[in-house]
Amino acid sequence: MKVLVIGSGGREHAICKKLSESPRVGKIYCAPGNGGIAQIAETVPIRETDTASLLAFAKDKGIELTVVGPEAPLSAGIVDEFQNAGLKIFGPSKQAARIESSKAFAKELMQKYGIPTADYRVFSDYAEAEKYIGKKAPIVIKADGLAAGKGVTVAMTPGEAKEALRAALIGKKFGEASNQVVVEEFLEGEEFSLMAFVRGEEVYPMVIARDHKRAYDGDSGPNTGGMGAYSPVPQIPDEEVKKAVEHILRPAARALKEEGCPFTGVLYAGLMLTENGVKVIEFNARFGDPETEVVLERLESDLAEIFLDLLDGKSPCIKWRKEAVLGVVIAANGYPGAYEKGIPIPPLSKLQSFVFHAGTRVEGERLVSNGGRVLFIGRKARTLEEAGKALYHELERLRLDGFFYRKDIGKRNQA
């Protein structure tokens, strides 16, 4: 079977690797891919949002399954276009993907169907939003649309909140994505990510993970697309995960069906265990990044079979390994702000840890950076403590000039 994976990050590298292990898969293409993905798949120089060219390529090559990694092509309607052309594609429709592409839509859906989340208000006018905030703090400001994981500000003072509002609504920091903002109650508790394979009202949960959004140690600095992740998450009781599946994921899937946009794909719930139970921070309409890089390393089942079974109306068989997985993002200095590209990456072949490429490209005979988040380096072990110790021992020996990484991923669980 010929498979096309759309995307260019660590998430797509993890998906390609897992698909390459399937006896059902003969050839993998990845558009546009990256320097690491090129080692296991044929990369194709087509942008992930160029739906017309991707569709033409899929028809020309006789692609039998397409898997969409990032949110941008989903929100643009790539699934609808492929399905209209009679091609098999795994991911939600444009209407269903609104659960990620519009935070206002997601919050309204949760409110209507009684899904627990933070209190909120939606604003498009700066003066009204500023008046509402007043002296409230801490408080959360979110750009309504897609902002590559950087559209959220957890403001600890009213001044920070108003600065974030001004940047979004007046400065249009995130373009059209910040035409509206969601001003949200600040929640406290333990965060975790719960992803599930979904078809209509059928929900097949994955093992949970936790990622670290802040750029620097101690969960300090600006929000990023994610600086590391681990699975399992010992501080989250199994009973709370079961409640989250029953009171959040299943109701969300039913709600989307009720609204006339049934969801097929990966539904991701960013959750927080508060003193009042689990609440939704956000929904995404695809695999999380970097959570996918640790979760798929724990998947024992054939990923291609899972995709095909869901698309063919069958119940997939999904099994998970018990081992712990922990990984760290290597980022270019300056990320998530301005950063350089083209920084040479040191040799990685002797690492015992696994490596997924995010922002890389091959330049002549060498591998160089091509993005803010450059590599995801991870380790599997019996426990998170063992995985973390072994991984950081290896990272300390790598010459990472021009790059930085957090040195505390998973550390709070290793006391």
Taking only the tens place, the pLDDT of each residue in 308-326 is 999 999 999 999 999 999 9
What is the per-residue pLDDT across 201-239, written as a single tens digit (0 to 9) for each?
A: 999 999 999 999 999 999 999 889 899 999 999 999 999
Structure confidence at residue 317 (pLDDT):
93
Q: What is the CA radius of gyration of the chain?
A: 20
pLDDT-derived band at 38 (thresholds 50, 70, 90) equals: very high
Quote the percentage of the chain above a pLDDT of 90.
82
2-7 and 27-32 beta bridge pairing: parallel
Peptide bond into 73 cis (omega under 30): no
Structure tokens, 293: 């890089």
Class of domain 188-311: alpha beta
| CA distances in angstroms from 232 to 208, 228, 235, 236, 324, listed in the order given | 6, 13, 9, 9, 6
What is the maximum alpha-carbon separation in the chain?
Answer: 59
| CA distances in angstroms from 181 to 8, 147, 176, listed in the order given | 28, 12, 11
Fold of 324-413: Glycinamide Ribonucleotide Synthetase; Chain A, domain 4 (3.90.600)
Structure confidence at residue 370 (pLDDT):
96
pLDDT-derived band at 412 (thresholds 50, 70, 90) equals: low
Domain map (residue ranges) of the chain: 2-91, 125-179, 188-311, 324-413
Structure confidence at residue 176 (pLDDT):
84
> What's the one-letter identity of residue 351?
L
Fold of 2-91: Rossmann fold (3.40.50)
Residue 284 has pLDDT above 60, yes or no: yes
Torsion of CA 301, 303, 306, 312, to 10 degrees: -140
Structure confidence at residue 134 (pLDDT):
86
What is the model's pTM? 0.93
pLDDT-derived band at 152 (thresholds 50, 70, 90) equals: confident
Residue 415 has pLDDT above 50, yes or no: no
- Classify residue 200 as left (phi > 0), alpha (psi -120 to 50) or beta: left
Peptide bond into 32 cis (omega under 30): yes
What is the per-residue pLDDT across 76-96, written as a single tens digit (0 to 9) for each?
A: 999 999 999 999 999 999 999
Beta strands in 241-372, from DSSP E residues, in sequence order:
264-274, 277-284, 324-332, 354-357, 360-363, 366-369
When the candidates are 3.30.1490, 3.30.200, 2.60.40, 3.40.1000, the CATH number that belongs to 125-179 is 3.30.1490
Structure confidence at residue 149 (pLDDT):
66
Structure confidence at residue 414 (pLDDT):
41
Q: Give alpha helix (H) positions in 166-263.
A: 238-244, 250-258
Phi and psi at residue 185, in whole multiples of 5°? -55, 140
- Mean pLDDT on 350-361: 96
What is the per-residue pLDDT across 231-267, written as a single tens digit (0 to 9) for each?
A: 999 999 999 999 999 999 999 999 999 999 999 999 9
Residue 135 has pLDDT above 90, yes or no: no
Structure confidence at residue 378 (pLDDT):
98
